[in-house]
């Protein structure tokens, strides 16, 4: 039987496998011990085993057209389960699993850009390097770039080690304001984590001359070592929102001492440079006159309404429930976490887990999809109550994993906050969902919510599915764009400056909207 070469680019290095003709690409990867997310069992229904073809991509299959946005297809993204070995192939896996098993959406849309990096003067290095850093509340992703060629040399990620001070930004900000010692520790922890990832990427950190970094307001303030006293008390004012420039020697990062760190500008309150980076990517991929809603759903939920005339942003006080925290059997998106729940039509429910492992708990997308499926099967009422035939403890998904009434309450509060925030932004602008051209989803969590579940539960506005656009890790993609071309620096500054922050949580009409949207389903 014929064999072909399957070359996989990982962390800037190419690994070549010899694979028999006709073997499914996802199977070939898994057989060689390469982690790949295939919760649907390789049938193409989940859309998660994404790879980027570095060689010529095949034509997309119907499953790929259904589950992958057109702009990703245009950039060579395909599903590994949908194609077989019929020739030599060169690919890059789009999602990586870190050492602890947490699934991290590491990549965003890769945009072509003229190479014009911001190289600090007075540094004579043959091959200057650049670093893009996305500091998330839950995860940390770093990419290394050759600033002469623009080529990405590698990528590394891990969980944010600050999580022992709280899984959400409020807990972490409060910990930092409790004592100077806590604040210094939180700063040292994140710097050490970034340095460890740099060490994994290169043995020449002294050649790194420019670092571009983005994160939410709390994460960047912790990195910078800035006080957050005014951020944790009403009216929740961010001490610093302007773009920050640091010299390498004073940053604590492993890099050239004369190099510089660019921390992207925030917008206001808890809306940071990661959202500004998302807006920069939107600017590049959407029509200039588009009206869209940008939703970055994660530990902190940020929503932006953007039109040709104005841009306004708000935070949704959803809490960490969407990351699986505060749920009876909740967990992060690790192998064994329930990510979806289906009714098979034969009176049975089938849980889908990450990596097809035995059920260990429920992650955020699993919480939403489970509630949506049980509501569709009339086991949960519109107001979030189990019907009488469900035991008082809740619905058993597996032997030791169940969905409790308390879990549904926690979900309803988070969902109510998200739905109320997006609706208030539209209402204040005199717009309705019908006025939106696009719904743009950024970050890992929104990436994994089925559009039908998101719309029917009211998390997303009701729009045609072709109006959904997925940025992936837009924060990282924005950092990489600026790292390669300094001409985007004025653009992101302008986007952050022109986006007004709307503080909704204290308004009586927001509270009314919040209560009206606490049902399990959409009321649109």
Q: What is the pLDDT of residues 404-436, one digit of tens each?
A: 999 999 999 999 999 999 999 999 999 999 999
Left, alpha or beta for 25 (phi > 0: left; psi -120 to 50: alpha)?
alpha
pLDDT band at 505 (very low <50, low <70, confident <90, very high): confident
Could you tell me which residues come within 8 angstroms of residue 229 by beta carbon, excluding any fewer than 6 positions away?
Answer: 177
94 pLDDT exceeds 70? no
Q: What pLDDT, on the 0 to 100 scale, is given for residue 104?
A: 53
With a cut of 50, say whether residue 131 has pLDDT above it. Answer: yes
Q: Would you say residue 97 has pLDDT above 70? A: no
pLDDT for res 99: 38
| Angstrom distance (rounded) from CA 93 to CA 81 | 12
Q: What are the contacts of 428-434 at 24+ separation with CB within 8 A?
A: 428/312, 428/502, 429/305, 429/307, 429/310, 429/312, 431/291, 431/305, 431/307, 433/461, 433/462, 433/463, 433/524
Provide φ and ψ at 521, rounded to 5°.
-110, 170
Q: For residue 108, what pLDDT is reported?
A: 63
Q: What is the pLDDT of residue 96?
A: 46
Q: Residue 102 pLDDT > 60, yes or no?
A: no
Give 105 or 302, the one with higher predicted confidence: 302
Which has the higher per-residue pLDDT, 70 or 394? 394
Condensed to tens digits (0 to 9), the pLDDT of residues 175-233 reads 899 889 989 999 999 999 999 999 999 999 999 999 999 999 999 999 999 999 998 88
Q: What is the mean pLDDT of the chain?
A: 88
Cis check: omega of the bond before 235, within 30 degrees of 0: yes
pLDDT of 468 over the 80 cut: yes
**What pLDDT score was predicted for residue 193?**
96
Residue 40 has pLDDT above 60, yes or no: no
pLDDT value at 456 more than 60: yes
Least confident stretch, 21-30, 247-256, 512-521? 21-30
- Residue-level pLDDT at 103: 54
pTM of the model: 0.78
Q: What is the pLDDT of residue 164?
A: 73
pLDDT of residue 13: 79
Question: Percent of the chain beyond pLDDT 90?
Answer: 59
Helix (H, G, I), strand (E, B) or coil at 239: coil
Label residue 318 by pLDDT band (50, 70, 90).
confident
In 117-260, which ranges are continuous DSSP H helix? 169-178, 180-201, 217-224
């Amino acid at each position: 039987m014929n064999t072909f070469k399957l070359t996989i680019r990982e962390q800037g290095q190419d690994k070549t496998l010899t694979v028999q003709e006709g073997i499914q690409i996802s199977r070939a990867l898994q057989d060689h011990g390469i982690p790949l997310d295939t919760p649907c069992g390789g049938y193409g229904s989940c859309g998660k085993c994404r790879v980027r073809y570095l060689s010529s991509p095949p034509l997309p299959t119907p499953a790929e057209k259904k589950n992958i946005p057109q702009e990703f297809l245009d950039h060579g993204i395909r599903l590994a389960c949908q194609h077989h070995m019929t020739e030599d192939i060169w690919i890059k896996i789009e999602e990586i699993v870190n050492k602890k098993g947490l699934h991290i959406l590491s990549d965003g849309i890769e945009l072509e850009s003229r190479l014009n990096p911001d190289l600090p003067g007075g540094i004579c290095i043959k091959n200057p390097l650049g670093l893009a850093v996305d500091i998330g509340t839950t995860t940390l992703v770093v990419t290394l770039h050759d600033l002469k060629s623009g080529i990405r040399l590698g990528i590394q990620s891990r969980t944010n080690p600050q999580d022992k001070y709280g899984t959400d930004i409020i807990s972490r900000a409060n910990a930092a304001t409790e004592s100077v010692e806590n604040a210094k520790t939180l700063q040292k922890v994140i710097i050490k984590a970034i340095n460890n990832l740099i060490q994994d990427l290169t043995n020449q950190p002294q050649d790194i001359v420019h670092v571009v970094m983005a994160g939410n307001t709390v994460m960047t303030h912790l990195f910078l070592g800035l006080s957050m006293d005014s951020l944790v008390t009403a009216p929740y004012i961010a001490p610093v929102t302007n773009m920050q420039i640091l010299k390498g020697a004073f940053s604590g990062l492993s890099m050239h001492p004369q190099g510089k760190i660019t921390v992207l500008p925030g917008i206001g309150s808890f809306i940071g440079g990661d959202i500004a980076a998302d807006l920069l990517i939107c600017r590049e991929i959407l029509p200039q006159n588009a009206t869209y809603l940008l939703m970055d759903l994660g530990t902190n939920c940020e929503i932006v309404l953007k039109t040709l005339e104005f841009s306004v942003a708000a935070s949704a006080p959803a809490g960490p429930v969407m990351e699986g925290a505060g749920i009876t059997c909740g967990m992060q998106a690790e192998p064994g976490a329930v990510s979806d729940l289906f009714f098979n039509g034969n009176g049975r429910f089938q849980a889908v887990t990450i990596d097809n492992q035995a059920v260990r708990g429920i992650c955020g997308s699993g919480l939403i999809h489970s509630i949506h499926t049980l509501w569709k099967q009339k086991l949960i009422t519109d107001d979030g109550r189990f019907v009488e035939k469900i035991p008082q403890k809740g619905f058993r998904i597996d032997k030791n994993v169940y969905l409790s009434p308390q879990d549904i309450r926690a979900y309803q509060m988070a969902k109510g906050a998200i739905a109320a925030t997006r609706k208030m932004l539209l209402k204040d602008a005199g717009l309705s969902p019908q006025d939106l051209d696009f719904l743009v989803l950024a970050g890992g969590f929104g990436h994994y919510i089925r559009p039908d579940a998101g719309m029917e539960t009211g998390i997303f506005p009701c729009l045609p599915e072709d109006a959904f656009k997925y940025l992936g890790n837009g924060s990282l993609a924005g950092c990489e764009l600026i790292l390669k071309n300094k001409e985007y620096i004025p653009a992101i500054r302008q986007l952050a400056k022109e986006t007004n922050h709307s503080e909704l949580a204290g308004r009586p009409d927001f509270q009314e909207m919040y209560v009206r949207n606490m049902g399990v389903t959409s009321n649109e």
